[in-house]
Structure 1
Amino acid sequence: MFAHTTTIWFVACPDPAEQLRRGLVADPDRTDDFIRRAYRGAVPSATASADLSSVPAADDVDVFAAHYGDLAVLAGRSLATTSPEELTEFVTGLEPGWTVVLLSLDPTASTGVFARWEDGRLLRAFAADPVRIHADHGVPFPFESSFWAGERPLEYLPGVEPDPLDLPFHPAELAEEANRQWLGFRFTPPAAEGDTDPSRIPLFTYRIGSDGTVAVPASEVRPAEPAPSPQNGPSAPGASDTGEGTPDATRTAPIAVTPNGSDDLSAPSAPAPANSAANSPAATTTSAPKKRGPGPISRYFGFRGRL
Structure 2
Amino acid sequence: MESVVTLWFVTAADPAGVIAAEPKADRGYGRKFLAQLNPAWPITPIGEFPLNRSAQASAGEYYVAGFPGVTIVQTVLHDSPALSDLNPRLLDSVPAAEVFAFAVDPESGYGGIAHWRGGVLKRSLCAERTRTYEDVGLPAPFEAPFWAGERAESVGGISLPFEPIELVAEAQRAWLGVDVSPEGPDIHVVAYAVDGRPAPRVPEGPRRRDAASRRPAAPLSSGYDDYEDAPSGPPERAHWADRSLSAARRTGVAAARGLRAARTWVQEKIRHSDRG
Q: 1:191-210 residue pairs with structure 2 within 5 A?
A: 196-197=184-185, 200-209=186-195
Structure 1 residue 209, shift from structure 2 partner: 4.0
Structural RMSD (CA)? 2.9
Partner of 1:302 in structure 2? none
Amino acid at match of 2:192: Y
Separation (CA, whole Å) in 1 of partners of 2:153 and 2:76: 25
SS at match of 1:185: coil
- The aligned counterpart of 1:185 is 179
Aligned residue for 2:165? Answer: 172
Q: 1:105 to 1:25 in 2, by over 3 A?
A: same
Instruction: For 1:176 and 1:202, locate their aligned partners in 2 and report how far apart those are by CA, in whole Å.
Output: 18
Give the CA deviation at 1:26.
Answer: 1.6
State how far apart, in whole Å, the 2-side matches of 1:87 and 1:58 are: 17
Partner of 1:94: 93
Cα separation, partners in 2 of 1:57 and 1:11, compared to 1, 3 Å: closer
Tell me the alpha carbon deviations over residues 9-62 of structure 1, each in whole angstroms, 9 at most, x when there is no partner: 111101112221222222232222122223343232212222203553554333
Q: Which residue of 2 aligns with 1:239?
A: none
Cα displacement string for residues 163-208 of structure 1 (whole angstroms, at most 9, x for unaligned residues): 2421111111111100111231244x7x5xxxx24xx111111010
Q: Structure 1 residue 149 and structure 2 residue 158: aligned?
A: no
Question: Which SS does the other structure have where 2:72 is aligned?
Answer: strand
Question: Any idea what SS the aligned residue of 2:167 has?
Answer: helix
Query: Residue 124 in 1 paired to residue 147 in 2?
Result: no
Structure 1, unaligned stretches of length 5 or more?
A: 156-161, 226-307
Counterparts in 2 of 1:57 and 1:23: CA distance versus 1, 3 Å: closer
Residue deviations 1:99-157 (CA, integer Å, cap 9, x gap): 111111111111011111110121111110111111111111111111111111236xx
What is residue 115 of structure 1 aligned with on the other side? 114
| 2:26 match | 27
2:60 partner letter:
V
* Closer, same or farther: CA 79–70 of 1 in aligned 2, 3 Å: farther
CA distance in 1, matches of 2:13, 2:57: 31
Normalized per residue, which structure has more helix? 2
- Distance, in Å, in 2 between the alignment partners of 1:80 and 1:186 is 25
Q: 1:58 to 1:120 in 2, by over 3 A?
A: closer
8 Å contact from structure 1 (residues 5, 56) kept in 2: no
Q: Give the alignment of 1:136-285 within 5 angstroms.
A: 136-154=135-153, 162-183=155-176, 184-187=178-181, 196-197=184-185, 200-209=186-195
SS in 2 for 1:147: helix
Supply the AA of the counterpart residue of 1:31.
Answer: G
Secondary structure at the residue paired with 1:146?
A: helix
Match of 2:172, SS state, is helix
Report the residue type matching 1:185 in the other structure.
D
CA shift for structure 1 position 81: 5.5
**Closer/same/farther in 2, CA of residues 209 and 53 from structure 1, 3 Å limit:** same
Instruction: Determine the structure 2 residue equivalent to 1:66.
Output: 65
Give, in whole Å, the separation in 1 of the partners of 2:94 and 2:33: 9
Q: How many pairs does the alignment contain?
A: 200
Letter in 2 for 1:30: Y
Q: Give the AA of the match of 1:208.
A: V
The structure having more radius of gyration, on CA atoms, is 2
Further displaced range: 117-126 or 80-89: 80-89
DSSP-derived class of the 1:76 partner: strand
Does structure 2 retain, via aligned residues, the 8 Å contact 1:130–1:171?
A: yes
Q: Give the partner amino acid of 2:43.
A: P
CA distance in 2, matches of 1:128, 1:205: 28
Aligned equivalents of 2:91 and 2:173: distance in 1? 22
Q: How far off is 1:69 after superposition? A: 2.8
Name the CA distance, whole Å, in 2 between partners of 1:148 and 1:30. 40
Contact 2:9 2:99 in 1 (8 A): yes
Structure 1 distance, partners of 2:57, 2:8, is: 18
TM-score (norm 1): 0.58
Give 1:88 shift.
6.0
Does the CA contact (< 8 Å) of 1:42 and 1:208 recur in 2?
A: yes
